[in-house]
Amino acid sequence: MTRIAIAGAAGRMGRTLVSAVLQSKDDLKVSVATVLADDPFLGADIGLLATGVSLGVTTTADLAAAAEDFDVLIDFTAPEATMEHLEICRQAGKGIVIGTTGLSEAQKQRIAEVTEIPVVFAPNYSVGVNLSLNLLRSAAKVLGDDFDIEIIEAHHRMKKDSPSGTALKMGEVIADELGRNLSEVAVYGREGIGEERDSKTIGFATVRGGDIVGDHTVVFAGMGERIEITHRASSRMTFATGAVRAASWLGAREPGVYSMLDVLELAD
């Protein structure tokens, strides 16, 4: 049995992750649940919080002290917390599934350089989104430089980072296929009167409002035709289920950094 720790377990995503572990058909159990030291749910039974059924696992603010009680940590918290958790897992020899977004390039590089433990690091754990990444790669390969590319994403009003990590990953996949550097061709906003659109650019548009779970559309706009590839998430459970699948998969892996495409056997 793989013992799963959930970081930020009392939050919306944390509770969904707990539920996803309980619903998984794999041999998994929630053994550790962390919250912040000032969280009002510190010491609460995470099963009661997430599902209304006791699991006998109470929330803790000290992941390091609980390191011997789990095999894989699932972390969808905040950048600084995630980096602290990564170090704890590295020191304790525990696997980690990272779904945190808004990480800096330096933080992403630190994750990429981990060699002591197995890590799954992805901007989105939805099976549908990861399938969409493969579709986008194929579309970019076929359409080449003849189509303008725009990426539109929408999320709930509480999401702090923009564009979303998923939107950026979509842009990276397309740019790589076209031999472009996303940091050089990305356009994150348009206003006023300017020059006509540079055909090499990849545009991003961000919407924040209400309780939108996550919508992503990539538009390939040509002369006389337009192709759109869209993924819409209606529940956080789709991300949680994918992350739990990644945690189960990770339990038998050698140290190294993997993507969700590896988990789904969609990687090149």
Q: For the purposes of burial, counting CB atoms within 10 Å of the CB of 42, is it exposed (0-12), middle (13-18) or buried (19 or more)?
A: middle
Alpha-carbon distance of 174 to 204, in angstroms, equals 13
> Is 155 among the residues known to form the active site?
yes
Helical (H) or strand (E) element with 142? helix 127-143
Tokens 């969280």 label which residue?
A: 39
Residues 6 or more apart whose Cβ sits within 8 Å of residue 207: 152, 153, 154, 155, 215
Helical (H) or strand (E) element with 256? strand 256-258
Q: Are 231 and 128 in contact (CB under 8 A)?
A: yes
Structure tokens at 24: 């998984």
Tokens 């209400």 label which residue?
A: 210
- Active-site annotation holder among 94, 108, 156, 159: 159
Alpha-carbon distance of 50 to 243, in angstroms, equals 17
Amino acid at 211: D
- Active-site annotation holder among 155, 169, 216, 231: 155
Q: What are phi and psi of 91, to 5 degrees?
A: -70, -35
> Is 200 among the residues known to form the active site?
no
Q: Give the CA distances from residue 111 to residues 82, 126, 174, in Å, rounded to whole numbers and listed in that order.
A: 10, 21, 23
Alpha-carbon distance of 32 to 25, in angstroms, equals 19
Query: In which order are the strands placed within the sheet that holds 186-187?
Result: 186-187, 202-208, 148-155, 214-221, 226-233
Q: Which residues are catalytic?
A: 155, 159
